[in-house]
Amino acid sequence: MNIILLGPPGAGKGTQAHRLVAERGMVQLSTGDMLRAARVSGTEMGKQVAAVMDAGKLVTDEIVIGLIAEQLDSASGGGFIFDGFPRTLAQADALGALLESKGASLDAVVEMQVDDEALVERITGRFTCGECGEGYHDTFKKPAVENICDKCDAEGKFKRRPDDNEEALRTRLMAYYKDTSPLIGYYYAKNKLKRIDGLGEIDEVAAHISGALAG
């Protein structure tokens, strides 16, 4: 099964994608994670996108489509979860064409609905483990032992994203409403859209997603 998790910054896409990977053996393709990895490894592309990302703007369609195209050749296990991609209509068209060229298709687009105030709260409290990538939150998902990752036991490796501040978040939200939200209508018209309430606790949201994928 190939699915898209669609939703504004902080909606919980990464959190739910990690669960689907653990529970269903799916493969998560997060363009945000790929771009951050390119920055850390200091590639030319990584340097090129750094300022754009920190400001909360979208990087070019060409770059992210290229990243996804490279990954689609890898083994997909239980299918791909597209997380944070597509974000524009051009990216959505490109994804459709790429999947078709592999003889694959898209099964569902899960729109995670979360209101703007909750997004600000989620984003400003977000941190992750620099070792294993596990996501946390100051209020909603604290590690069992302060400063130690529940998943990999790394100590003192937590980090926060430079774009998880209120100003960059406003820009990211604007990009979502302007460039990404048209995908809701696009996938509705293609009969792929499943809308779920993303406001409950992490387990509840996971149950909504399972229900949407089953139905």
Q: Which residues are catalytic?
A: 13, 87, 126, 161, 172
For 136, other C-beta atoms within 10 Å of its C-beta total: 18
**Taking CB within 5 to 8 Å according to partner kind, which of Zn ion, ligand ADP, none is near residue 119?**
none
**Is residue 148 a contact point for Zn ion (CB under 5 A)?**
no
Please give the residues from 102 up to 161 whose contact with ligand ADP meets the rule CB under 6 A. 122, 125-126, 135-137, 140-141
Cis ω for the linkage preceding 8 (within 30 of 0): no
The pair of three-digit structure tokens given for residue 157, joined into one six-digit string: 């490796």
Nearest residue (CB) to Zn ion, 24 versus 151: 151
Report the run of H or E that residue 135 belongs to, with start and end: strand 135-137
Does residue 187 interact with ligand ADP by CB under 6 A?
A: no
Smallest distance from Zn ion to CB 133, Å? 7
State the binding partner of 149 from Zn ion, ligand ADP, none, CB within 5 to 8 A by kind. Zn ion
Residue 87 within binding range of ligand ADP, rule CB under 6 A: yes
Instruction: Please report how many Cα atoms fall inside a 13 Å half-sphere around the Cα of residue 203, on the Cβ side.
Output: 1
CB 85, min distance to ligand ADP, A = 4
Contact pattern for Zn ion over residues 152 through 171, marking x by CB under 5 A:
x-x-----------------
Question: What span, in angstroms and rounded, lies between the C-alpha atoms of 136 and 150?
Answer: 10
Q: DSSP 3-state assignment of 97?
A: helix
59 is a contact residue toward Zn ion (CB under 5 A): no
How far is Cα 93 from Cα 60, in angstroms, rounded to an integer? 15
Cα 206 to the chain's mean position, in Å?
15
> Which residues of the chain form contacts with Zn ion (CB under 5 A)?
129, 131-132, 134, 149, 151-152, 154
